[in-house]
Amino acid sequence: MHVDRQPAAEKPDGRKRRWREHKIARREELVDGTLAAIRARGSNVGMDEIATEIGVSKTVLYRYFADKGDLINATMMRYVETILAPRIYAAIASGGGEYELTRSAIAAYVETVATDPDIYLFVMGNNAGTNQHVIADSERMFAEVVATVLGERARLLQMDSGGSVPWAYSIVGGVQLATHWWISNKSMSADDLIDYLLMMTWSAIEGIARHGGSPAKFKAQEHELPRPE
């Protein structure tokens, strides 16, 4: 009697799995070392200085990263995922009134950048080529969260929420670009920057609310700049 036998399933290669796990863990260690090197040596740090600061050779770095771009990309992702994004999300999730929420979100972004200026400048300075998508993805994530909050608040107030996404991208893009300008020259204090950004952003939100989020209602009004008292 012939019995069809299924081929035995291949056993997973334990060595390959352990190597993958080791490589992931080692990459994270080296990325953390890269962040420490940037803080110690500045945003213009090179691969030789990074290797020296970590205490390894460049050969070791290239054993775990395909090239300089791969290391930079991993460093950018680590900064966004473990430092910048959690602080922004925590501020947005803190609740409170619309004004307090707007201020806390702007302050979280500016203060995070101010705390780690060399990391931020390194990340933005290498925002080109294959690394560009990391920053673009983070901007998209922040904008989508802000759009969700704007949409929810607009609907609660029975306003037109159709502009939530472009409003969110405008806010996130404006705050990020202004902060990048500021961190590059520091011509005012962080508190002053936060206040100016808050004034601009809140004025926009207040204006949107005044017209119920409706472009038609907005365009139907007379538009003249008020004179300060």
DSSP state of 130: G
Which CATH number goes with the domain that contains 44? 1.10.10
The two structure tokens encoding residue 68? 């300089």
Whether residues 23 and 95 fall in one domain = no
End-of-domain residue from the set 28, 46, 65: 65
Which range has the worst mean pLDDT, 16-25, 94-103, 185-194? 16-25
Q: Is 23 a domain residue? A: yes
Whether residues 98 and 41 fall in one domain = no
Give pLDDT, residue 129: 60
> Number of structural domains, the chain?
2
Whether residues 56 and 95 fall in one domain = no
pLDDT at residue 5 tops 90 = no
pLDDT at residue 64 tops 80 = yes
Q: Is 83 a domain residue? A: yes
Residue 126 and residue 72 in contact, taking contact as beta carbons nearer than 8 Å:
yes
Whether residues 95 and 42 fall in one domain = no
Which range has the worst mean pLDDT, 9-13, 44-48, 135-139? 9-13
Whether residues 172 and 197 fall in one domain = yes
Give pLDDT, residue 2: 53
Give pLDDT, residue 138: 82
User: By residue range, what is the domain housing residue 207?
Assistant: 68-212
Residue 38 and residue 122 in contact, taking contact as beta carbons nearer than 8 Å:
yes
Give buried/exposed letters for 42-80 (b at 16+ CB in 10 A, else e).
Answer: ebebebeebbebbebeeeebeebbeeeebbbbbbbbbbb
Whether residues 200 and 122 fall in one domain = yes
Q: Is 217 a domain residue? A: no
Whether residues 94 and 128 fall in one domain = yes
Q: Is 11 a domain residue? A: no
Residue 25 and residue 19 in contact, taking contact as beta carbons nearer than 8 Å:
no
Which range has the worst mean pLDDT, 26-30, 44-48, 123-127, 178-182? 123-127
For all residues of the chain together, what is the average pLDDT? 87
Q: Percent of the chain at pLDDT above 90?
A: 52
pLDDT at residue 186 tops 60 = yes
Q: Quote the CA–CA distance of 40 and 63 in Å, as a whole number.
A: 24
48-61 average pLDDT score: 91
Q: Quote the CA–CA distance of 221 and 41 in Å, as a whole number.
A: 55
pLDDT at residue 25 tops 90 = no
pLDDT band per the 50, 70, 90 thresholds, residue 8:
low
Q: Is 224 a domain residue? A: no
Whether residues 122 and 26 fall in one domain = no
Whether residues 40 and 111 fall in one domain = no
Whether residues 24 and 91 fall in one domain = no
pLDDT at residue 95 tops 60 = yes
125-143 average pLDDT score: 76
Which CATH number goes with the domain that contains 196? 1.10.357.10
Q: Is 220 a domain residue? A: no
End-of-domain residue from the set 49, 65, 81: 65
Q: Is 146 a domain residue? A: yes
Whether residues 25 and 107 fall in one domain = no
Give pLDDT, residue 39: 93
Residue 80 in 3-state DSSP? helix
pLDDT at residue 201 tops 70 = yes
pLDDT at residue 206 tops 70 = yes
pLDDT at residue 209 tops 90 = yes
66-90 average pLDDT score: 89
Whether residues 109 and 205 fall in one domain = yes
The candidate with the shortest Cα–Cα distance to 170, out of 215, 204, 134, 210, is 204
Q: Is 161 a domain residue? A: yes
